[in-house]
């Protein structure tokens, strides 16, 4: 199915920054404003999540399929981002805290958009600094390994011409159901309460 851009929906919500929090993500469906019981924007209709098979910062192979049965939140970030990425991870940390015992129903998976800068050591340091070590998986790899994933998920990832160490990249969080379908999307400045609201429903579908 032809990819359909959802950039227009989030253009006013995700400004370009030093991190490159642009909204050039694409999906297999149009996204709508929140409807029904969902707090996040809704993929209409929901569509099967593209496969992801990479290694995490500890060298462990990770496949998106291994998290079937749980809600999954996917985001694309890099560990030395000065603004947008820490904001997103901070909000996810807050959502986990608010979920309490229900936090076990969701798996957070970050995929690197900076194959050169994201190393096992720097990623571990990032997760420790944001209190997410052991609470979020962070997948890294070479450009040859990561680029096909970016392409399948419609992710923009390119060097920021204004800063040699910065990366412009799509900054959305994808909410995936327990059965493996993309159901909701959240901009980089999402409210933790929106994720808290949606996780139990994502986990039940």
Could you give the C-alpha distances from 29 to 7, 19, 43, 125, 178, in angstroms and in order?
Answer: 12, 26, 6, 36, 19
- For residue 176, which of 186, 187, 184 has the smallest C-alpha distance? 184
Sketch out the chain's domains with CATH numbers: 4-203 (3.40.30.10)
- For residue 169, which of 180, 156, 150, 184 has the smallest C-alpha distance? 156
pTM of the model: 0.82
Backbone angles phi, psi at 53, to 5 degrees: -135, 105
Q: Which residue did the predictor score with more confidence, 18 or 68? A: 68
CA torsion sign for 66, 70, 76, 82 is negative
pLDDT for the residue 161: 57
Q: Any idea what DSSP says for residue 5?
A: E
> Which helix (DSSP H) or strand (DSSP E) does residue 91 occupy?
helix 84-99
pLDDT for the residue 6: 38
**Per-residue model confidence as pLDDT tens digits over 121-167:** 999 999 999 999 999 999 999 999 999 999 999 888 776 656 666 66
CA torsion sign for 168, 78, 138, 37 is negative
Given a cut of 80, whether residue 184 has pLDDT beyond it is yes
pLDDT for the residue 27: 39
195 vs 30: CA distance, rounded Å = 20
Two tokens, residue 33: 């404003």
């Amino acid at each position: 199915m032809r990819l359909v851009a959802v950039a227009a929906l989030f253009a006013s919500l995700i400004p370009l920054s030093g991190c490159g929090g642009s909204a050039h993500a694409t999906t297999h469906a149009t996204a709508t404003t929140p409807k029904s019981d969902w707090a996040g924007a809704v993929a209409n209709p929901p569509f099967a999540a593209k496969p992801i098979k990479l290694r995490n910062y500890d060298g462990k192979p990770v496949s998106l399929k291994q998290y079937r049965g749980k809600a999954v939140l996917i985001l694309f970030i890099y560990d030395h981002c000065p603004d947008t990425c820490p904001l997103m991870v901070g909000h996810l940390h807050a959502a986990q805290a608010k979920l309490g015992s229900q936090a076990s129903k969701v798996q957070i998976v970050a995929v690197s958009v900076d194959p050169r800068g994201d190393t096992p050591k720097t990623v571990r340091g990032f997760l420790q600094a944001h209190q997410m070590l052991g609470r979020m998986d962070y997948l890294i790899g070479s450009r040859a390994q990561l680029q096909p994933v970016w392409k399948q998920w419609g992710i923009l990832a390119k060097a920021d011409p204004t800063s040699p160490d910065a990366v412009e990249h799509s900054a959305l969080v994808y909410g995936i159901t327990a059965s493996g379908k993309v159901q909701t999307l959240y901009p980089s400045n999402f409210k933790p309460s929106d994720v808290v609201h949606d996780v139990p429903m994502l986990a039940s579908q």
